[in-house]
Copies of this chain bind each other. A is one copy, B any other.
Amino acid sequence: MRISPLLVDLYEITMGYSYFRHGKNEPATFELFVRKFPRNRNYLVSAGIDDIVDFLVNFRFTPDEIDYLRSLNMFSEDYLDFLARMRFTGDMYAIPSGEIYFPGEPVVVITAPRIQAQILETALLNQFNFQSMIATKGARVISAARGRACVDFSPRRDHGIDASIKVAKNTYMVGFIGTSNLLAGKIYGIPVFGTMAHSYIMSFESEEEAFKTFATDFPNTTLLIDTYDVLEAAKKVIELVKQGYRIKAVRIDSGDLVELSRKVREMFREAGLDLLIFLSGDLDEYAIDELLRKGAEADAFGVGTRLGTSSDIPYLNGVYKLVEDDKGPRVKLSPGKVTLAGKKMLYRVYENGRMVRDIIALHDEKIDGAEPLLLKYIEGGRPVREDSLDGGRERFRDAFSSLPEHLKSIYEVEEKYPVYLSEGLREVMARFGVKIERIQ
């Protein structure tokens, strides 16, 4: 899906016009970061870097889009011509999709002529804020499911088309086994799942007839057993398996999932069957955690609405701020909203395979024994690095396994992950009268 450069707040274009008129188009560095993490988030997951790279590398207003800007009667022809010829010619660093990051850390670093760097803000934030929020939500669900399979069932409640495919993509990246969404399956090559809805069962004279018909059409399938009476339906399933129908699993989508799943498991055990149990219906990390604590029997979860909208925290407040220009490091000093000045690099220290602290440093500073987390994706407008979705999946698996155990909680923990400022960065901030040693 093309991201148009017109996905932009008007003020970016008006500021650009003023810079253009006054020849203020020297290189500047802007950084994307999340100042304060939302409730119950001990870590966030980088995501959408592929879309951001794609957007920048293909940045170009179409003639049609320039005509629209002209129709606003706000801009001169030479500025419109300048916009029509504008391509992204700068550098971009980012923490790769799938990697874990913490408050205040630069996640995307853009250095480009000021007008370019300014105009891309809206689309960049639109994609990053949403995708990182969803990847994080997915990671929390995976964490709560303790090894059980999870499938994205969210398209009917996601916020539109783009949201639906990117929910599927980012939840797959953090360990979901797949999605119900065929559009995402096609675009990203993600495995797709799904069998039947209640309306299918209702369209037959009896539940039994529906089961038989579907199991014949799709051998080794999953049957939905909560249209009428779950336990009665489970009996029918057992009977059908005994008659030779090939049924692999049952899904329960409503009712008391703890009690029903336990009873159904017991019935299957007594019958000597190892059918899988798939649970769905208003699930998220909190509900799954509670189900498992209460002893629900589940081999897999279908997770929809609350996942795809990240319903407990439906937005991420990532911001994109000027940190350096031709006059050197810049800073915004509003109360409670200090920006770390200067173009930066992010380092992570590992000990015994665990991440133990991060260090935010100046871009050219080297930190011994630490691993740089910001990788170069674009240099002088040309892409120099490309990540695959499978690569992101692997990266997340590695990152999550190196995350200190207590931070994997789906609730807020007291002992935050340590994020320090390097010596060089502390000195720069001191020049602005700000004494700061660590973010958290």
**A interface vs B, CB < 8 Å?**
1, 3-4, 6-15, 17-19, 21-22, 24, 28, 30, 65, 68-69, 72, 74, 114, 118, 121-122, 125-127, 129-130, 153, 155-164, 166, 180-183, 185-186, 192-200, 202-203, 213-214, 217-218, 226-227, 254, 305-306, 308-311, 314-317, 321-322, 325, 330, 332, 334, 337
Whether A11 pairs with B180 at a CB distance below 8 angstroms is yes
Q: How far is the CA of A355 from the CA of B13 in the complex (A)?
A: 45
CB-nearest residue of chain B to A330: B202
Whether A305 pairs with B332 at a CB distance below 8 angstroms is no
**Residues A126 and B156 in contact in the complex (CB < 8 Å), given A1-B161, A194-B9, A311-B315:** yes
Whether A13 pairs with B162 at a CB distance below 8 angstroms is no
Whether B159 pairs with A130 at a CB distance below 8 angstroms is yes
**Residues A164 and B7 in contact in the complex (CB < 8 Å), given A218-B14, A325-B203:** yes
Whether B197 pairs with A125 at a CB distance below 8 angstroms is no
Residues of B within 8 A of A321 (CB): 199
Whether A126 pairs with B160 at a CB distance below 8 angstroms is yes
Whether A192 pairs with B156 at a CB distance below 8 angstroms is no
Residues of B within 8 A of A311 (CB): 314-315
Q: Which of B7, B18, B227 contacts A200 (CB 8 A)?
A: B18
Whether B15 pairs with A126 at a CB distance below 8 angstroms is no
**Residues A160 and B157 in contact in the complex (CB < 8 Å), given A10-B182, A315-B309, A315-B311:** no
**Residues A315 and B322 in contact in the complex (CB < 8 Å), given A130-B158, A213-B22, A217-B17:** no
Q: How far is the CA of A1 from the CA of B181 in the complex (A)?
A: 18
**Residues A74 and B164 in contact in the complex (CB < 8 Å), given A10-B182, A156-B121:** no
**Chain B min CB distance to A316 (Å):** 7
CB-nearest residue of chain B to A314: B314
Given contacts A10-B180, A126-B157, A162-B163, 9 further A-B contacts (CB under 8 A): A6-B183, A9-B180, A9-B181, A18-B218, A22-B213, A28-B203, A125-B156, A130-B163, A199-B322
Q: How far is the CA of A387 from the CA of B291 in the complex (A)?
A: 46
Whether A332 pairs with B129 at a CB distance below 8 angstroms is no
Copies of this chain present:
2
Residues of B within 8 A of A118 (CB): 199
CB-nearest residue of chain B to A224: B11
Residues of B within 8 A of A158 (CB): 126, 130, 159
Q: How far is the CA of A10 from the CA of B183 in the complex (A)?
A: 10
Residues of B within 8 A of A164 (CB): 7, 126
**Chain B min CB distance to A341 (Å):** 11
Whether B157 pairs with A334 at a CB distance below 8 angstroms is no
Residues of B within 8 A of A182 (CB): 6-10, 13, 68-69
Q: How far is the CA of A74 from the CA of B194 in the complex (A)?
A: 12
Whether A332 pairs with B213 at a CB distance below 8 angstroms is no
CB-nearest residue of chain B to A26: B203
Q: Which of B9, B202, B218 contacts A322 (CB 8 A)?
A: B202
Q: How far is the CA of A183 from the CA of B258 in the complex (A)?
A: 47
CB-nearest residue of chain B to A335: B255
Q: How far is the CA of A194 from the CA of B308 in the complex (A)?
A: 30
Give me 11 A-to-B residue pairs in the complex whose CB atoms sit less than 8 angstroms apart, sorted by A's number. A6-B183, A6-B186, A9-B153, A10-B182, A10-B195, A14-B196, A125-B157, A126-B155, A126-B156, A161-B162, A198-B332
